[in-house]
Amino acid sequence: MSPLVIMGNGPGLVEPRALFTEVFFAIMAPHTAIPIELSSHANVPAHGAISVPEPGKTAQLIADFRELFKVRVTGMVIVTGWAGFYLGSMQSGISTMQRGLLDTLVGIGLVSAGASALNQALERKTDALMTRTADRPLASGRFSLAFGVLAGLAALFLGGEWLVLRTNLLTVALAMLTAFTYVAVYTPLKRVTTLATFIGAFPGAMGPLLGWTAARGRIEWPAVALFAILFVWQFPHFMAIAWMYREDYAKAGIRMLPVVQPDGWSTVIEALFYAVVMIPVSLAPWKLGMTGPTYAVLAVALGIFYLAYTIRFAGILRTKDPTESRMLARDLLKVSVIYLPLLMTTLMLCAIAKH
């Protein structure tokens, strides 16, 4: 393929868009690119060649950014942050649809995205060992380590600065503590102890608490109840994931419970314990006067549904068929990601506004 030629705007000048493209794709290296030579009319040395993506690479680039910032996880954090802000606003008797909501969600989303990028920068070598994560942009080498770190720090800084300007110092402090715990504590501990899952559940449950403090400016028992719901929900969810990918985790030296105790008993017991605890914990908002009895009835029904699939997950102890075992774990995983949005939606719809 012959190189494209970009004409300069006159002697010694390069078209600004061309210069931007060169700088951007230099940072993005080692993404595959097509060299574009500058016309001699631009008076630019030959070594100043510009790189642009090969045809079809744009979709890959977008997918890599989505993966780097863990868009689905960040989306879940934003949704739970919205629930916290909504319920905090209801508690204050103010509008739940306001500029402060958007400001809060933007800040929370940026902090979450930045922490996700830094997490992948630290885990790029272990990610490369696992089939499930080997194609991540840092693990595969499509993004450089420097770019991953810079992108993570930039998002973290922008999110923190945005929260400083738009919310309050308590929310900023909690957001930064969440990112620090996730990146600097939970991530390295995954190769050391199974307790990393327990520790990682703390930053994983911070979404609604951040939303609440952004709306109310203080930590209160209703906010703690929302935190507890997210905290407890994670364990059956994570046990299902850990069981499905236990061989991958073992290859990477990550000490998940199914890797350390492969018979499955500890995995099932932990999942069942937290699925049972989930029912009374989900009733805490009702006991605190945040909702009416309708919520309590629906929360119990949803909790029983979640528990039923966790009991079904215990079938991994008797089956010798790897396919069936994986199916049981996958079904629990699917139910867990249905249960949480349904519970949060029910809580928001049944919330009682204070006047």
**Distance from the first to the final alpha carbon of the chain:** 70
pLDDT attached to residue 36: 45
* Domains of the chain as residue ranges with CATH: 4-55 (no CATH), 58-219 (1.10.357.140), 221-355 (1.20.120)
Answer left, alpha or beta for residue 217, where phi above 0 means left and psi between -120 and 50 means alpha: left
pLDDT in tens, the chain (355 residues): 444 433 344 444 445 444 444 444 444 545 544 444 444 444 544 455 555 667 668 999 999 999 999 999 999 999 999 999 999 999 988 888 888 999 999 999 999 999 999 999 999 999 999 999 999 999 999 999 999 999 999 999 999 999 999 999 999 999 999 999 999 999 999 999 999 999 999 999 999 999 999 999 999 999 999 999 999 999 999 999 999 999 999 999 999 999 999 999 999 999 999 999 999 999 999 999 999 999 999 999 999 999 999 999 999 999 999 999 999 999 999 999 999 999 999 999 999 988 6
DSSP helix, strand, coil percent of the chain (3-state; round to 5): 75, 5, 20
Name the pTM for this structure.
Answer: 0.85
Select from 272, 267, 269, 295 the least CA-distant residue to 282.
295
